[in-house]
């Protein structure tokens, strides 16, 4: 006769599953409406990160509280307001969210002991000598390198489950694949399904209007580099195309002794050492991304004049890539503890895109100088296109 023992953890998991099922059913029933107001083509807003356009003034925003993110003044929360309009070809979104400080530098490099390292969070923007990220996880989630602010928009077909059925919690959601670098889970969908994801990044926003356009599907095969943790495994997340990435890393390495990296390009105008902060210099300016054509190949001879404390941008932007008809574009502005973001995307669907139509569901995620630890909300906004 089998012996049954009390399993409080199993009971708790079953109860949590029932509660989660109830939440999913409630979310489907109570999904909030986001009206996408119809406007004439000539009345479409200008993308400039400013909501003073007449078209926005007559629309009351829909407010969503996003939570469980990193920082945001220690709260982990950000209140998001969104307005939406469309003309004959495009969807326009005006999004405002709380963020106490703007972070525009991403993975800057700092010279220390005659080697280049990824700067740790907070080390470049503040006064004093920069402190590099060190150890074998430099540049990964555990070592918290300096990262820019970001904002993501997820578009899913009608009838999808909680958060598009795309979030799978746990340190290792897939038995035959690495876990996410955040330790909180992975994003992927079931077979035959797809979700559209657009991610704006503060680091590249000043140099290009393009937004990182990607899609989420079933788990991707694990590469050799990912299997040995030399590269990040991203579950089912894929870029729409090779040109969908707006910025490119300005370094290789990061897993060697003391987390050293090798820069790829040098600014034509050489950066100021961090030790010059006392004289009024702004090292954070040197850490911001640069256009590709404002740099030259890195050589030790060319870098000979850079002393310890010098900072290089960790991201470069190929300014020759212009937005295509299927690309998502945006402009943003930060002021007084708020980011203002205006986004434009075609109503029609390009390759790896979903169309914008009635019943589509939308979620938002805010990143406060974080690579993976973003805020989120459970209830979707359900699009209703005005005629």
Please tell me the predicted confidence (pLDDT) of residue 125: 39
Burial class of residue 107 (count of CB atoms within 10 Å of its CB; 0-12, 13-18, 19+): buried
d(CA 337, CA 343): 20
d(CA 249, CA 204): 12
Higher pLDDT, 259 or 113: 113
Quote the pTM value. Answer: 0.80
Please tell me the predicted confidence (pLDDT) of residue 228: 76
Check residue 145 and report its DSSP letter. Answer: B
- For the record, the structure tokens of 261 come out as 């990296």
Region of 163 on the Ramachandran plot (φ > 0 left; ψ -120 to 50 alpha; else beta): left
Over residues 175-203, mean pLDDT: 82
What is the per-residue DSSP string for 181-223? TTSSEEE---TT--EEEEEEEHHHHTT--B-EEEEE-SPPPPP
Contact between 179 and 156 (Cβ < 8 Å): no
d(CA 224, CA 294): 35
3-state secondary structure at position 120: strand
Looking at 243-380, which runs of residues are DSSP E strands?
A: 247-249, 251-253, 260-263, 265-267, 290-291, 295-297, 311-312, 315-317, 329-335, 338-346, 361-367
Encode pLDDT of 45-73 as tens digits: 999 999 999 999 989 999 999 999 988 98
- For the record, the structure tokens of 208 come out as 């290009």
Long-range contacts of 230-234 (CB under 8 A, 24+ apart): 230/255, 232/140, 232/181, 233/177, 233/178, 233/179, 233/180, 233/186, 234/186, 234/187
Please tell me the predicted confidence (pLDDT) of residue 338: 96
Please tell me the predicted confidence (pLDDT) of residue 321: 74
- For the record, the structure tokens of 265 come out as 């390009």
On the question of pLDDT at 293 being above 70, the answer is yes
Encode pLDDT of 69-94 as tens digits: 988 989 999 999 999 999 999 999 99
Contact between 303 and 311 (Cβ < 8 Å): no
d(CA 185, CA 182): 7
d(CA 39, CA 34): 15
What b/e readout covers 178-213, taking b as 16+ CB neighbours within 10 angstroms?
bbbbbebbbbbbeeebbbbbbbbbbbbbebbbbbbb
Please tell me the predicted confidence (pLDDT) of residue 342: 98
d(CA 17, CA 332): 40
Supply φ then ψ for residue 171, to 5 degrees.
Answer: -70, -25
On the question of pLDDT at 19 being above 60, the answer is no
Contact between 237 and 213 (Cβ < 8 Å): no
In whole angstroms, how far apart are CA 209 and each of 164, 198, 323? Answer: 27, 13, 8
On the question of pLDDT at 352 being above 90, the answer is no
CATH level 3 topology of 9-387: Immunoglobulin-like (2.60.40)
How many Cα atoms occupy the beta-carbon half-sphere of 167 within 13 Å? 16
Contact between 117 and 258 (Cβ < 8 Å): yes
Please tell me the predicted confidence (pLDDT) of residue 198: 95
Please tell me the predicted confidence (pLDDT) of residue 21: 42
Mean pLDDT (the chain) is 79
How many Cα atoms occupy the beta-carbon half-sphere of 39 within 13 Å? 23
- For the record, the structure tokens of 361 come out as 């569901």
């Amino acid at each position: 006769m089998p012996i049954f023992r009390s399993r409080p953890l199993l009971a708790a998991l079953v109860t949590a599953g029932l509660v989660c099922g109830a939440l999913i059913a409630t979310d489907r029933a109570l999904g909030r409406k986001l009206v996408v107001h119809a406007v004439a083509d000539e009345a479409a807003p200008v993308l400039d990160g400013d909501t003073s356009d007449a078209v926005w003034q007559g629309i009351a925003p829909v407010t969503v509280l996003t939570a469980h993110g990193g920082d945001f003044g220690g709260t982990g929360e950000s209140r998001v307001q969104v307005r939406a309009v469309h003309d004959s070809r495009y969807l326009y979104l005006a999004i405002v969210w709380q963020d106490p400080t703007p972070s525009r530098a991403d993975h800057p490099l700092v010279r220390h002991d005659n080697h280049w390292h990824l700067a740790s969070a907070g080390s470049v923007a503040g006064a004093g000598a920069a402190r590099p990220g060190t150890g074998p996880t430099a540049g990964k989630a555990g070592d918290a390198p300096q990262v820019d602010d970001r904002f993501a928009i997820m578009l899913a077909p009608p009838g999808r489950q909680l958060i598009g059925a795309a979030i799978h919690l746990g340190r290792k959601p897939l038995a035959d694949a690495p876990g996410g670098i955040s330790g909180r889970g992975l994003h992927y969908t079931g077979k035959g399904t797809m979700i559209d994801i657009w991610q704006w990044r503060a680091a590249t926003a000043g140099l290009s209007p393009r937004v990182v356009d990607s899609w989420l599907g079933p788990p991707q095969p694990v590469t050799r580099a990912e299997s040995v943790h030399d590269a990040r495994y991203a579950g089912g997340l894929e870029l729409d195309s090779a040109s969908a990435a707006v910025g490119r890393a300005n370094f290789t390495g990061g897993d060697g002794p003391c987390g050293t990296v090798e820069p790829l390009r040098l600014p034509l105008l050489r950066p100021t050492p961090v030790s010059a902060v006392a004289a009024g210099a702004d090292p954070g300016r040197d850490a911001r991304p640069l256009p590709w054509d404002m740099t030259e190949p890195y050589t030790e001879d060319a870098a000979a004049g850079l002393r310890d404390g010098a900072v290089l941008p960790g991201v470069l932007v190929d300014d020759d890539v212009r937005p295509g008809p299927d690309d998502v574009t945006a402009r943003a502005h930060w002021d007084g503890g708020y980011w203002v973001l205006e986004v434009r995307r075609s109503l029609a669907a390009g390759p790896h895109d979903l169309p914008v139509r009635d019943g589509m569901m939308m979620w938002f995620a805010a990143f406060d100088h974080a690579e993976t630890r973003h805020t989120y909300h459970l209830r979707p906004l359900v699009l209703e296109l005005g005629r």
